[in-house]
Amino acid sequence: MTFMMHFLLYLPLVLSNLYIIFDVKLASAHCLSEQKGLLLQLRCNLTYDSSLSTKLGSWEEHTDCCSWRGVHCDDAGHVIDLDLSSDSITGNLDDSSSLFSLQFLQRLSLAGNSFDSTDLPKGFGLLNQLVYLNLSETGFAGQIPSNFSRMSRLVTLDLSTFSPSYVLSLKLENPNLNMLVQNLTRLIELRLDGVDIAAAGVDWCNAVSSALPDLQVLSLSNCNISGPFDSSLAKLQSLFVVKLDGNKFSASLPGFFAKFANLTTLSASSCDLLGEAPQQIFQLPTLRTIDLSNNRELGGCLPEFPENGFLESLDLSYTSFSGNLPDSVGNLKKLSSLKLFGCNFSGPIPSSISNLSQLVSVDLAVNHFTGSLPSFTLSRNLSSVSLRDNKLMGKIPLEWEGLKHLTILDLSNNSLSGELPALLFSLPSLESLKLPNNQFSGQINELEGMYPSPLGELDLSSNNLEGPIPQFVFKITSLSSLSLAFNKFTSTVELVGFIELKSLADLDLSYNNLSVGTRGSDSAFSLLPQFNSLMLASCNCKLQKFPFLKNQSRLNMLDLSNNQITGDIPNWIWEIHDGYLPYLNLSHNHFTGLQEPYHFQTHFYLDIHSNLLTGAMPLPPPSAVYVDFSSNKFTSSLAADIGNLLSSAIYFNIANNSIVDDIPLSLCNATLLEVLDLSDNSLSGSMPSCLMELSRSLVVLNLHGNKLSGNIPNTLPRDCKLETLDLSFNQLEGEIPQSLVNCRKLKVLNLGHNRIGSTFPCRLDKLTNMRVLVLHSNRFSGKISCPNSNYSWAHLQIIDLSSNNFNGVLPPKFFSSLGAMMVDGDKSNLHLDLLRYQGRDFKTYYQDTVTMAFKGTPTTLTKVLTTLTSIDLSSNNFQGSISEKVGDLISLLLLNLSNNALTGQIPSSVGNLKNLESLDLSSNQLTGEIPENISSLSFLSVLNLSHNQLVGRIPGGRQMQTFLESSFEGNSGLCGFQLNRTCNGDRDPALPESQLEEKQLYSKTEIYISVAVGSLVGLAFFVGPLWLSKRWRICYNKNVDQLILRIFNKKGKQMRKNLKEDW
């Protein structure tokens, strides 16, 4: 569209706003005294700040009022234009004001003042000569008077406000929108943003379209109007600006918007739009601005963009748009802002985007873009680039050296690699550089002749960077935040090196190969910046050499965990920042005590777990939200009123100590708790019934490994939120409480090693989210068949009913219900995750564990993959045959049916269990031959078929040759070299000594599964040995370590971010 066409399009609106001024410029009349008197009276009755006022404050009585600022007159001396916008006016304006006696006014603006939520005066309706009325952001409230409709000459009406929703605003009830505009037929511009119209789609659409045929600007943002859009709106063919943000349409975006040939702006963010957006809208050649952001249910794909389009700004953030970003985006030569944050776009970022010379801001974060970074060769005006949370790979382009105006660059959470180019740190305008969670490697080269940098935020954490921290970092005096955590930086960093960084508030050097040095005088340390957060986890620090912390008057977060610090925790640490230290992590050190006297003060997050602290357990600070005293050597009972001190707590963990006596009833007063872990202590007595009632908030309850007795309270509420319940290794009796079925979110249930009796709890099939069910070593009896149950355990991955008195047949339906064990595909291709609970905003993290017993020796695995699958029904009295349905469990890793009374043949479908690593069917009464296809189970490393009535030749194959006599003994009818027993006169060749040694190694491994639940919070982990197979060890250790690092790094950063925001 040519310039002339645009000029003609805007001409009516321009003329409506300027013709009066144009007339005045030609006039030479003087102000009438009556008009002057009205203006002076108006000023007298208004309250304004004379030091800020540029209009009212400049009026002088002895001068012509037509020459006053904001005042224009016609040739007869009548005031026809009064502009008092943004003149610091406050107070009231009522109907008695002299303003409403200025009957010749044609233009009036009071915009940008504050009239203290007073009702909108009816006097405005008396100004029936007005063509232009602007009362935007004036603070008026209440009903818009009915006589506003008398201003029939109005061309522009602006009553908009963008104040927060809790501020009193204008409303249209009686009159409603239709009554307001029915006489305003000359309106070209209508702005009612923030006015409470409260009209349905058919009403507001008809009201506007029927009364205002020439409307060009329609702005009804945050007006409480709803949908769906009525087709009558399509009549407004002159529209070129449509703003409808912040309403609740709950409808699709109509296609007729694409038929508004003059449309330049379409803004409908946060409107609950649904369905797919019409592609034709994006192809309108006149459009300059499209904003459909914050409509999560709105989707679609971007079409091919027309050549030489006028689009300047495109914002689809927080929508469900998907597909590729078309290469034709390069046609949008005027595009300055592209925001697609939080969509579902995929594929490469088109290289044509690099040719957009007007581009200023690009936000493609949180999508699924792949491939390399664009070069932005011609985009020299770029000031902000955010491509975080995608799947981008490759190196940072050298062409970025030309981005001299770039102020913000965020490439976090991708797979970018290579060395970091020095050009990034020399960009003259760069203020924020975020590159965490990538694969950058190598050393960062020093910069020669570096100019003063405006860089304020530098985050290079979670990469593979190595070598010393470059010296130029210590010269960026504008730095306020520096994070180098989770890299491989080496050498010693002296804290005095940060003296020049006076603005530095947040420093994180955690988890490198660094040593933080404390050489320097007290006077030098006094010159260090006042930190807000100081994170030095795993930095080989020695707390005794950190007296400078006493002088940190602004410190909110301190992490000295994993530093092998010895001695007592000094009592002065609780006084830092006048006792206000919200986040303190001293875990995984070698502290042996707390220096007396000590006084906990304001600590929201207090973590001293995994030390060597002895004596009585300290009382938690009353302000605490997160408390972890676990894995120490505390020996005392819990204080009777401890629950009263946890009124704000969501996490309380004292596991693995030597706490004795009863569980205090006051714990039930901690009604915000999400995680309560008292495991592995010596608590005794019965479980308080109110403790189960706490599950209205409680998500994890772990009482494992104590000496609790009595029944499990049957007091679980209907709104139970429990996801993990571990009462194992106690002395509990009775039955499983019936109210447990109220815990519909339960994932982990461990009642093992107690004295619980009764029959199989069929009612638990209502817990469809169950992943782990452990009832081993109790006194259960009877059949596990449930006639009226479908065993709705599609997510169950570990089931252990061993060492009870169950009997009867194994129902085929039982096996066919285990959907999580039927997932096809090699485990290495499955999505890896951990059994864990992640609380609100990452402030709580709890990790479930599995205990594996190797020849009776329990080994705790503190990282439990959701791909770990196991069935243990051993040591019961099950009878009958093994169902062929067991062969459907193709992702099963461990199967133990030993020590039962099973009969019949081993089902041939066992050969379908291609991921099986351990199979134990020993000590039954199985007959027939061993299925040949067992030899195809290439991952099988543990096999025990001993003490049955099997016959025939032991199948051949390389895998079967690894098993020794102990796997097959006690079957008099079996033959093969493993038993040194020939078959049909054949003679098996002797095995070489190396193979015998290998077989002896395998014979030492018998695996029985039991499950325990525990927690691991922090950034260091202790993992029991994995003795299943080389394949499992490699997959497990490599992938799980990466997963945990990713989870905890994200958790730690999010937690710190949330805590900072809270402060």
Instruction: Please determine, for residue 82, whether its predicted confidence score (pLDDT) is greater than 90.
Output: yes
Does the pLDDT at position 103 exceed 90?
yes
Q: What is the mean pLDDT of residues 48-58?
A: 94
The pLDDT of residue 87 is above 70 = yes
pLDDT category at 27 given cuts 50, 70, 90 is very low
HSE-up of 604 (CA within 13 Å, CB side)?
15
Residue 7 pLDDT > 60: no
Give the number of other Cβ atoms within 10 Å of residue 671's Cβ.
14
Q: For position 470, what pLDDT does the model report?
A: 92
Least confident of 100-114, 295-309, 604-618, 810-824: 810-824
**Is residue 589 in some structural domain?**
no
Q: How much is the average pLDDT of 169-182?
A: 92
The pLDDT score that the predictor gives to residue 885 is 93
The per-residue pLDDT for 331 is 94
DSSP assignment of 192-259 equals -TT-B----HHHHHHHHHHH-TT--EEE-TTS--B-PPPGGGGG-TT--EEE-TT-B--SBPPGGGGG
The answer to whether residue 361 is domain-embedded is no
Provide mean pLDDT across the span 878-885. Answer: 95
Given this model, what pLDDT does residue 1044 score?
A: 42
pLDDT at 850: 61
**H/E run at residue 439:** strand 439-442
Q: What is the pLDDT of residue 544?
A: 59
Task: Say yes or no to pLDDT of 163 above 60.
Answer: yes
Residue 524 lies in a domain: no
Least confident of 243-247, 493-497, 581-585, 897-901: 493-497
d(CA 769, CA 579) in angstroms, rounded, equals 44
Our measurement of the distance from residue 86's CA atom to the centroid of its chain's CA atoms, rounded to an integer in Å, reads 41
Assess whether pLDDT exceeds 60 at residue 10: no
CA 543 to chain centre: 34
**What is the average per-residue pLDDT within 852-878?**
70
Tens of pLDDT along 732-753? Answer: 999 999 999 999 999 999 999 9
Res. 1034: pLDDT tops 80: no
On the question of pLDDT at 106 being above 60, the answer is yes
Give every CB contact of residue 562 below 8 A, 6+ residues apart in sequence: 511, 537, 538, 587, 588, 589, 1018, 1019, 1020
Is 260 part of any domain? Answer: no
Does the structure show a pLDDT above 80 at 130?
A: yes
User: How do residues 567-585 score in pLDDT, each as one tens digit?
Assistant: 999 999 999 999 999 999 9
The edge-to-edge listing of strands for the beta sheet with 1007-1010 is: 857-861, 850-854, 1007-1010
657-683 mean pLDDT: 95
pLDDT of residue 838: 64
Establish if 749 belongs to a structural domain: no
pLDDT tens figures, 821-845: 887 655 444 455 556 666 665 456 6
**Region 135-142 average pLDDT:** 92
Average pLDDT rounded to a whole number, residues 371-388: 96
Q: Report if residue 193 sits inside a domain.
A: no
Q: How many domains would you assign to the chain?
A: 1
**Model pLDDT, residue 24:** 38
User: For residue 640, is it within any domain?
Assistant: no
Task: Enumerate residues 6+ apart whose C-beta is below 8 A from 559.
Answer: 510, 534, 535, 536, 537, 583, 584, 585
pLDDT > 90: percent of the chain = 71
CA distance 950 to 737: 42
What is the pLDDT at residue 239? 96
| Cα Rg of the chain (Å, integer) | 37
Residue 865's DSSP bridge partners are 834
962 pLDDT tier (thresholds 50, 70, 90)? confident
Once rounded to an integer, what is the mean pLDDT over residues 893-905?
95
Residues 364 and 342: beta-carbon distance below 8 Å: no
User: Does 543 score more than 50 pLDDT?
Assistant: yes
Full-prediction pTM beyond 0.85? no
Torsion of CA 142, 143, 145, 146, to 10 degrees: 180
For residue 1033, what pLDDT is reported?
41
Residue 337 has pLDDT above 90, yes or no: yes
Do the Cβ atoms of 208 and 217 come closer than 8 Å? no
Q: Give the confidence band of 518 by pLDDT, cuts at 50, 70, 90.
A: confident
The residue with tokens 């039962």 is 900
Instruction: Tell me: pLDDT of 1014 over 60.
Output: no
pLDDT for residue 1015 is more than 70? no
Return the DSSP state at 578: G
pLDDT tens-digit map of 397-438: 999 999 999 999 999 999 999 999 888 898 999 999 999 999
The percentage of the chain sitting over the pLDDT mark of 70, rounded to a whole number, equals 84
pLDDT at 853 over 50: no
What pLDDT band is residue 527 in, cutting at 50, 70 and 90? confident
Give the whole-angstrom CA distance, residue 1005 versus residue 983. Answer: 28
Q: Are 738 and 762 in contact (CB under 8 A)?
A: no
For the cut 80, the answer to whether the pLDDT of residue 763 exceeds it is: yes
pLDDT at residue 485 in the model: 96
Average pLDDT, the chain: 86
Domain-located, residue 658? no
Q: Which domain holds residue 1046?
A: 828-865+890-1019+1029-1063
3-state DSSP call for residue 126? helix
Spatial separation of the C-alpha atoms in residues 591 and 569, rounded to whole Å: 6
